[in-house]
Amino acid sequence: MLYNNNMDIKIFDRVEKKYLISAKQQKEILRAVKRIMQRDKYHHSSVFNIYFDTDNYDLIIKSIEHPEFKEKLRARSYGGYDKVFLEIKTKLRGKGPSLGYKRRVLLKLEDYEKFAANKKTAVELAKKEQQSDLQIAKEVDYLVEYLKLKPKILVHYDRTSFTGEDNLRVTFDENLSYRTKNLKFFKKANDKHYFNNEKNIIMEIKANGVMPLWLVKTLSKEKVYPSSFSKIGKIYELIRKEKHV
């Protein structure tokens, strides 16, 4: 199922490209985007991701090594939204652009906290909500049990998003921050900021296939090129360096 404006959609498959850009480049790109695309239903949002991993961060380390296949488990919520998505995010890397897939289960915040504390399984909670996607919940439970996963890192950022024809989606993520303790869906004054340079905005383009010509020309004019940037991967590398200081 392809992306649409419904935040409750359960499965995604699409081509994804990321770019690190400056505020100046963002301003010029936005001029073109606003002429062609529309504001997403959730145009401005605060995004909170809690990544699950082993005590040794095996999933993140594997992801950093850029394998042909990688998988992550995370919980995602949005500021002011009392629901949580349990997501299995899979990426397949081939000769062309990477293909990303997301399979997810929607839970109430209070139920997610029971899941995170190992008091309830995803299947039990999905059944409680009478959800039909029990297979995804079973996959979540299998990963948690087989790999001994637990909440390890919270990552949050502010997102501005646009949608266009043929399921085109452009997002801008700013104020990337993180913490490794008190992993709840809210910001704290002592959260650590990731960026300390000019190119501190993550632009992501998701499309069914080939990007439209107007967007390709805009990126070329602004000298914006794809970047292999995983938020959780880069943050983990920073955390690892901090522990060795």
Q: Residue 153: which CATH number?
A: 3.20.100.30
For residue 94, give every residue at least 6 positions away whose Cβ sits within 8 Å of its Cβ, in sequence order, or none: 68
Asked if residue 6 is part of any domain, the answer here is no
Q: Give how far Cα 14 sits from Cα of 46, 100, 166, 204, 215, Å.
A: 23, 6, 11, 12, 17
Whether 1 is in a domain gets the answer no
Nearest to 170 by CA among 191, 135, 132, 201: 201
Query: What are the structure tokens assigned to 233, written together?
Result: 């991967």
Quick one: tokens of 170?
Answer: 């452009």
3 in a structural domain: no
Q: Give the domain extent around 102.
A: 11-243
Q: 5 in a domain, yes or no?
A: no
Kindly report the pTM of this predicted structure: 0.87
Task: Report how many domains make up the chain.
Answer: 1
Single-letter code of the amino acid located at 118: N
Q: What is the pLDDT of residue 6?
A: 46
Range from 8-22, 115-129, 205-219 carrying the lowest mean pLDDT: 8-22
Torsion angles phi and psi, residue 149, rounded to 5: -85, 150
pLDDT at 12 over 70: no
CA distance 89 to 70: 8
Judge whether 41 and 7 are in contact, CB under 8 Å. Answer: yes
Residue 2 within any structural domain of the chain: no
Q: Looking at the domain assignment, is residue 162 inside a domain?
A: yes
With bands split at pLDDT 50, 70 and 90, how would you rate the model's confidence at 2?
A: very low
Helix (H, G, I), strand (E, B) or coil at 145: helix
pLDDT tens-digit readout, 92-116: 776 555 666 788 999 999 999 999 9
The pLDDT tens digits of the residues spanning 188-231 come to 999 999 998 889 999 999 988 788 999 999 999 999 999 989 99
From the centroid of its chain, how far is CA 34?
Answer: 23
Please say whether the beta carbons of 176 and 193 come within 8 A: yes
Kindly report, residue by residue over 156-178, the tens digit of the pLDDT.
Answer: 999 999 999 988 999 999 999 99
The model's confidence at residue 14, banded by pLDDT at 50, 70 and 90, is low
Using alpha carbons, select from 177, 181, 105 the residue that is nearest to residue 144. Answer: 105
Give the pLDDT band (50/70/90) at residue 4. Answer: very low
What is each CA distance from 9 to 2, 36, 104, 117, in whole angstroms?
9, 24, 8, 26
Whether residue 4 lies inside any domain: the answer is: no
